[in-house]
Amino acid sequence: MDALGTDPNPLRVAVVGSGPSGFYAAEALLKGPVAARVDVIERLPAPYGLVRYGVAPDHPKLKEPILVYSATARAPHFSLFGNVAAGVDVSVAELREHYHAVLFTCGAQTDRQLGIAGEDLPGSHTATEFVAWYNGHPDYRDRRFDLEQDVAVVVGQGNVAADVCRILAKSVGELKTTDIAAHALEALAASRVREIHVIGRRGPAQAKFTNKELKELGELPGCDALVQPQDLELNPASRIEIEAKANYVAAKNVEILREFAAKRPTGKPRRLHFRFLQSPAALAGTGRVEQAVLARNRLEGEAFKQVAHETAATETLACGLVFRSIGYSGVPIPGVPFDARRGVFPTQDGRIVDTAGEPIPGLYAAGWIKRGPTGIIGTNRADAVSTVKALLADLPQLGPDAKPGGEGLRRLLAARGVRIVSAADWFKIDALEVARGAPLGKPREKFTRVAEMLQCLNV
């Protein structure tokens, strides 16, 4: 038997999920020291995860990592198994039979819950839904958002909340030459949303926006950014926080917010109100959201460990739309341990561990399903590389037997009637999207239904 990781007996790895962490893991394996074959299994026909379906359409530069991923997708020994869901079309046990290692990079597919009364009233949505809808994700294609409402509340003060605020605040003129989905552009064209309240449970020094994203919210041509100066008064612990050198992003955020507070509204058609130290205690209304009951919070704890505690003081804000942008969460896949509290696959150095904390041979994770839903695209590169390092260190335990890999998986999926979308198939869909966008001045017009994408491959 040839040693595992040699040309006659290559290391066969199934990577589950084609977002940044999946592509960075594939790249690290293919450029690594051993002969490897990498099959990326993706439940959608379109690859690239949140770079395609999360990153905001008006931030095209941030989608440039796709150029790197598409080069990896063209590399020898790489195969895409698009339109194949692990745990549905193929079980984890079957993947383990076919591959020496299975590396999960399936991201955080759902949202966290606030756990308050009225959270599920019509008119209350997660940012996950709204973002996926305007980005043309097939699962969210048919969602409806009542943009007839004047007042929208966005709960949470991270960069996803910033994206949601911008898309609500921008005019169609500003969005029409982006890759925003056509159905969203049409709905946003009729939007009557005028007041947007973005609500943080903690103070301005704890907002999670990055500086560039926050600054941009103050520079929108059609929307005034408003902050009440008294909301920027910091408690002693927050002052310590922003004076710490390493916390320069927070210090700069406070400075940017002070600049917003110093400006008077200029009469732009929309207004974005930053609110701090408030938490939704309940959403209320007859048959739909009509009000958000906001509890006033106070911060407790030492610097960098401050927690928001609700006080008895409340304010009722009339609003017809609520977007909860309080973070994403992973979902389980049968056959893989799941930490429901953190919404991740439990790992140690990238190795998935069982309830006793022991690594399960051949199972690995990287990206948001390993770390939780934080970090920018680039964060996933170092993370994926470190998991691949652990996988390669385990090589002696993963071999020496040869595995059927992609050939075997193709046979299995063919017998089940699954239409695999290969990398070549994807590039065909990609080219058609770009061609559809060109007459509209858009970088692409996305197909937003799985059937439409598969249809392209039959002609």
Binding region for ligand FAD (CB under 6 A)? 16-22, 41-44, 49-50, 54-55, 59, 62, 85-87, 105-107, 109, 131, 160, 163, 328, 333, 367-368, 375-377, 379-380
163 binds ligand NAP (CB under 6 A): yes
Instruction: Name the residue among 350, 407, 368 with its Cα closest to residue 107.
Output: 368
Type of residue found at 199: I
The interface partner of residue 291, options being ligand FAD, ligand NAP, none and the CB cut-off 5 to 8 Å by kind, is none
208 binds ligand NAP (CB under 6 A): yes
Sheet holding 291-300, edge to edge: 278-284, 291-300, 307-318
The interface partner of residue 206, options being ligand FAD, ligand NAP, none and the CB cut-off 5 to 8 Å by kind, is ligand NAP
49 binds ligand NAP (CB under 6 A): no
The interface partner of residue 261, options being ligand FAD, ligand NAP, none and the CB cut-off 5 to 8 Å by kind, is none
10-36 burial code (b ≥16 CB/10 A, e <16): bbbbbbbbbbbbbbbbbbbbbebeebb
The interface partner of residue 368, options being ligand NAP, ligand FAD, none and the CB cut-off 5 to 8 Å by kind, is ligand FAD
Q: Which is nearer to ligand NAP, 86 or 322 (CB)?
A: 322
State the greatest distance between any 2 C-alpha atoms of the chain, in Å, as a whole number: 76
Residue nearest to ligand FAD (CB): 19
Please, are residues 352 and 365 in contact by the beta-carbon 8 Å criterion?
yes
Residues 6+ apart with CB under 8 A from 34: 4, 5, 6, 10, 11, 392, 395
158 binds ligand NAP (CB under 6 A): yes
Q: Which is nearer to ligand NAP, 6 or 110 (CB)?
A: 110
Sign of CA dihedral 441, 446, 451, 456: positive
213 binds ligand NAP (CB under 6 A): yes
Counting Cα atoms < 13 Å in the Cβ hemisphere of 102 gives 27
CA distance 165 to 122: 20
Candidates 156, 330, 350, 359; binder of ligand NAP (CB under 6 A) is: 156
The interface partner of residue 155, options being ligand FAD, ligand NAP, none and the CB cut-off 5 to 8 Å by kind, is ligand NAP
- DSSP secondary structure letters along 335-367: TS--BTTTTB--EETTEEE-TTSPEEEEEEE-T
Q: Which is nearer to ligand FAD, 69 or 276 (CB)?
A: 69
Q: Which is nearer to ligand NAP, 91 or 210 (CB)?
A: 210
